[in-house]
Amino acid sequence: MNSRQFPVALFLTALILTGAVHAQTSPLANRISAHSQVSPFADRTISRSQLASTPNPFNPAPFQKHLAPLSGQVQFLLSTRGRQFAGSHPNVHGWLVREGVNLSGARTPTLPSAVANSGSGATPQTLASTCNASSGAKFNLEPFHGMREIGIPLPQNQTSVDFIPDGGVGGNDLVVGGANDYRGLIEPEAAGFSGVVPPHAWGFSASGYYVHRAGPDCGSNFEGGLPHLVYSPTREILFGMGDPVIAVDSTRKLVYGADLRFGLTVSAIGLFRTTTTKLNSAAACPDGTHLTDASGNDTVAAGCWPTSMVVAPDTTPSDLLDKPHLRVDERSKGTGAGDIYLTYTWFANNASVIQLVVCPANFNSILDCSNPRTVSHPNDANTQFSHIAVRPDGVVTISYVNFEVFSEPEGNPFVVEQSNIKLVTCTPNGAPNPPTCSLPSLVAQEMRPIPLQARIAEQGFPVATYPTHDQRFNPATGQYEEFMVWTRCATSGIFPVGNGKFFDWIQCPESKVVMSHSTGESGPAMNWSSPLPLDTGPHDQFFPWVRTDHDKNTVQVIYYSSENDRSGHLLQVMENEVVPGNYSSGTPQVLTKTQINPSADPILGDADPNFGDYIGMAAKNGHAYVHFTGTNFPQNVGGAALSGQNNQLTSFTY
């Protein structure tokens, strides 16, 4: 299949997934057509003996030995659909080979031996997008018909965001977002499986960045894929594999990004640094999509993100670094002021642990940073979903989940899942010295988590119990208080099938976002409250994200809800607030009146569905930006207007 044939094949795929075509002669179309006939719930019925012999049979091979779920991006790449979609990417292909995944019949790309950073290339595009429109703004610049070399629009999801107030051009806010961008995964196939990055194209990065620096709207002025890295010991080129997270330092006018990097020889985290001067420069970061140059080099992206490095590389074939999170200590002075805190999940052997790396504000190499340090409890072997918050006094807190599965007493057919939500408190020591961290304390034993790798009944895609948190200062006590939000099942998600002796059906009937708060600063004295729903509306609420506006001392929470859809499927982004002095949330507010259909994407909405793991928010000085996955901007797929997944941006004041 050459690059001219590829858009046609992908167009056929899109028609198959929307039910318009039932059989085609294209090999790619036939492979996906066969898979799309499988029930999306077919793999959710398991035997008790399978649970006994495999910690998590719902994890894709070869990670079934791990109980903790993988990130949505990694799950997708290991799925049948993901291997079909991205198996020609040199890093994805190499990583699948490294993990021992069967790739019989797959096309083998040529691994690139070198990528230079020279030349230039950007395609200017304009897209007026109103911040507070009923659907928010489209926050990417993908053309209506898709990239020229691909010929079809592709999804973006799993969104993060941060901003510097008045940090853009002409006093505008500088808003920087990150998202999984599937243009980078399919581009190698559009390049004819050569492994050579094509010229004047998006490139091979699946870690998208999107920046608003000028104008009264919320549109992206420019976008691109985070640039490649080189793992020096093996000289392997590592392109962005997604899960990008963004953090800013408003004090020092610095912006950071982190993402997944893996391939044939290594699994790692990529860490990037740039300045507001760079991002506001039309010469360094021109408007439009940052394309590769005439030689296929990601020159413009590398110029926008000039400092980068590989963090915590692991060359053991069965190991994986997953789910990074990133925050910055924005204080102007004090021990650790300006330090960057990076956490991730390290899957190794039969366990997964949370690790922390701390770097100084102006790092130039990994030698400037601390060694990775495990911060999860020594007895927690099934951890995932770390989340960092930094208090205004420099104290750092890290939340995570440890997953447990156990059987009820003999004769009871149920298998019980439990998610232990924990919090670590760290005192800074100034990078490269790691902080002094407490043993994790228990926030909650969630007995109704979203079952491992299960789907909410009315949604049809995986959702996890993924806690996020932030702090608020209480002037009456002189202490900081924590607020934690997460998703749980409203009722038990585990049902026996038949007499329950052989099979259990695992699904969450309805999900709710709950919140717990503390009235102390550390350890058992934190006195966590019983978790209560943020929203009492019907149907589902999920993907909560919390940020404290330390300028106003208010706690802001966003999440998806289907409460205003009679069928309980279509989504809106909701916002809720905890005002100073209160511990309960207020009345939920709708941010996006136009509803989102999470099943609409022709690639990610059917078999092996993927809607990401979270949405993002940043809140400062009475103003918040919300970066989310939506389906509100139809794009042209072979003459049909289809509403695939887009990263979208909205804002609100309070």
3-state secondary structure 516-552: EECCCCCHHHHCCCCCEECCCCCCCEEEEEEEEECCC
Dump pLDDT digits (tens) for 293-323: 999 999 999 999 999 999 999 999 999 999 9
Percent of the chain with pLDDT over 90: 71
- Please give, one letter per residue, the 3-state secondary structure of 458-519: CCCCECCCCCEEEEEEECCCCEEEEEEEEEEECCCCEEECCCCCCEEEECECCEEEEEEECC
Residue 58 confidence (pLDDT) above 80:
no
Is 578 strand, coil or helix?
Answer: strand
Please give the average per-residue pLDDT across 347-352, as a whole number. Answer: 93
Strands 640-642 and 635-637: antiparallel
Average pLDDT, the chain: 86
Q: How confident is the model at residue 282 (pLDDT cuts 50, 70, 90)?
A: very high
Instruction: For residue range 29-51, list pLDDT tens digits in order.
Output: 222 222 232 223 233 344 444 44
Q: What is the pLDDT of residue 30?
A: 29
Residue in this structure with the two tokens 């581009």, named with its chain if needed: 187
Instruction: Identify the three-state secondary structure at position 186.
Output: helix
The pLDDT score that the predictor gives to residue 455 is: 80
* E strand spans, 213-253: 222-225, 229-231, 236-238, 245-249
How many alpha carbons lie under 13 Å from residue 215 in its C-beta half-sphere? Answer: 17
Burial level of 597, CB count in 10 A (0-12/13-18/19+)? middle
pLDDT tens digits for range 358-412: 999 999 999 999 999 999 999 999 999 999 999 999 999 999 999 998 765 554 5
Structure confidence at residue 29 (pLDDT):
28
Closest alpha carbon to 239 in 261, 217, 208:
261
Say whether pLDDT at 237 is over 80.
yes
User: Distance between CA 120 and CA 284 in Å, rounded?
Assistant: 10
> For 594-633, what is each residue's pLDDT tens digit?
999 999 998 898 767 899 999 999 999 999 999 999 999 9
Predicted TM-score (pTM) of the model is 0.90
Q: What is the mean pLDDT of residues 280-296?
A: 97
Residue 44: what pLDDT? 36
The pLDDT confidence band at residue 16, using thresholds 50, 70 and 90, is very low
pLDDT confidence band for 57 (50 / 70 / 90): confident
pLDDT at res. 452: 79
pLDDT, tens digit (0-9, with 9 covering 90-100), for 105-161: 566 665 554 444 433 444 544 444 788 789 999 999 999 999 999 989 999 999 999
Residues ≥6 apart with Cβ < 8 Å to 334 = 393, 394, 428
C-alpha to C-alpha distance for 651 and 132, rounded to whole angstroms: 6
**Cβ distance 463 to 455 under 8 Å?**
yes
d(CA 203, CA 216): 30
Domain map (residue ranges) of the chain = 1-37, 38-127+137-653
Strand partners, 332: none
Tokens of residue 635, six digits? 């794009």
- Nearest Cα residue to 606 out of 30, 4, 34, 24: 34
Look at 85-99, 294-308, 504-518, 575-589 and tell me which has the smallest mean pLDDT: 504-518
pLDDT in tens, 481-536: 999 999 999 987 666 555 555 445 567 889 999 999 998 776 556 789 999 999 99
